[in-house]
Amino acid sequence: MARDAVSKQARVVMTLLARAEESGDVELQAAAVEFDVKLDALTKWVEDFVYLERRLLTGELFSPLVTFMIDDGSLIRHGNNRSIRDLVTKAPPIEVAVGLLIAATQYITMYDDPDEDGLHYPLISAINILRKIVGQEYPATAKAPALLADVEESIGSRGKSRAQIIRYMKDDFSVSERTVEIHQTYSIGGYWYAKLLDCGDGRKKSFRVDRILEISDGGYSFPTAPTDEIPDSFDLSELANRVIIRTDDEALDALPNGVEIDKQTTLGDGRVEVELIVYGESRLDHLLLAIGPNAEVVGPPEMIKRRAVHAASLLSTYLT
């Protein structure tokens, strides 16, 4: 048989084993369509591995333990024996290793009972191997806020969760008390969020956990909500404000978090002109002053005025 054909077969089988191991049952009919192979042929390739045994010339029956089986047209992981993928001797490509290292480092910082399932120390060992492959280490990127554990404790794993009363500080620093039903926690871009139902207005929202000042029991239970896949990012486009400033280039390094640099032009006097995007009104006000007096707001006109008014308002509190 041509080597190319065996290569393709091996690649397909290894891909299906990866899916069965990492994501669950693999329907062979769908896989046959995807890989453009007749179902009979694909099934035979998979069977070659799943029923792997051979009587050797010595008469010995060689029958390695295989952790997969075929059931009702699907390749499934069965039991907890090792996989042929456990034999891989080649280090993953560096990009894969970086991703694994970041995931593993983040994961290991998240749990109080590190070895409840016996995989904590293997994970430390895996991290050390990945560090050598990558040539550096990565810090955890989403530090757990102080109240994250309390927020997560309210989410029941056995079908019932407890409502909570929280004191929450919004972006504009106003504080309010709310009764909420917390559905799940998740982290994007270094911040932790609680996805919840705000019982005050009946709307689903995501609150930053580090902005929750206090949390206490709300006095009743509710059915635990199913979790959703976390988004790639928040769509804040409706809240976008644009400001054009001129400033020293170094000052751009100190822009507040969440401010995006859109367009940048070098000026002849050693400064740069940049168009910044900032989301939300209170963040806009923060930005207009946080860029400091050496930065000049040059547009749009309403932003020039807004900055002056906001600065004058603050100034008055210091002059009284």
Partner 1 sequence: MPNAPDERGSALERTLILTEWFASRRSIQTTLQDVADNFPEYAGSDTETSRKMLGRDLKLIEEELQIEIQWDDSNNFYSAKPPVFTRDERASLLRAVGTVRVDGIAEDADETEIGHARDQSAAQIAVRLPLIVSELGAPIRDRQMVEFWYKKGERRRVEPHRIGRGGVAWYLLARDKKDGAIKHFRLDRILEVAGAPAIVAVGELGAFEVPDNRDLAGEFDVDPNEWGRDAPLEAEVAMSRDLATIFCNTVVGARISSEQGENAIVSVTVRHYVAFLNRVLSFGSNVRLENPPELVEMLISSLKQMSGAK
148 touches 192 (CB < 8 A):
yes
**Residue nearer to partner 1 on the CB measure, 213 or 240:** 213
Closest CA to 68 of 3, 127, 24, 101: 24
Q: How far is the CB of 211 from partner 1 (least distance, A)?
A: 7
Q: How far is the CB of 187 from partner 1 (least distance, A)?
A: 4
179 touches 164 (CB < 8 A):
yes
Token code pair at residue 19: 């899916």
The size of the chain, in residues, is: 320
Cross-strand bridge partners of residue 179: 165
Q: How far is the CB of 179 from partner 1 (least distance, A)?
A: 18
Q: How far is the CB of 140 from partner 1 (least distance, A)?
A: 8
Helix axes 94-108, 120-134, angle to 10 degrees: 140
Closest CA to 166 of 201, 202, 194: 194
**Residue nearer to partner 1 on the CB measure, 119 or 219:** 119
Rg of the chain on CA atoms, in Å: 28
Q: How far is CA 2 from CA 5, 13, 56, 128, in A?
A: 5, 17, 24, 41
**Residue nearer to partner 1 on the CB measure, 220 or 233:** 233
- Spatial distance between the Cα atoms of 296 and 25, rounded to a whole number of angstroms: 60
Q: How far is the CB of 135 from partner 1 (least distance, A)?
A: 4
**Residue nearer to partner 1 on the CB measure, 117 or 220:** 117
Token code pair at residue 264: 């940048």
**Residue nearer to partner 1 on the CB measure, 156 or 219:** 156
Q: How far is the CB of 295 from partner 1 (least distance, A)?
A: 9
- Spatial distance between the Cα atoms of 251 and 296, rounded to a whole number of angstroms: 12
**Residue nearer to partner 1 on the CB measure, 39 or 98:** 98
**Residue nearer to partner 1 on the CB measure, 96 or 149:** 96
Q: How far is CA 186 from CA 168, 180, 304, in A?
A: 17, 16, 38
Q: How far is the CB of 196 from partner 1 (least distance, A)?
A: 15
Q: How far is the CB of 237 from partner 1 (least distance, A)?
A: 17
**Residue nearer to partner 1 on the CB measure, 81 or 219:** 81
Residue-wise burial string across 285-299, b where 16 or more C-beta atoms lie within 10 A, e elsewhere: bbbbeebeeebebee
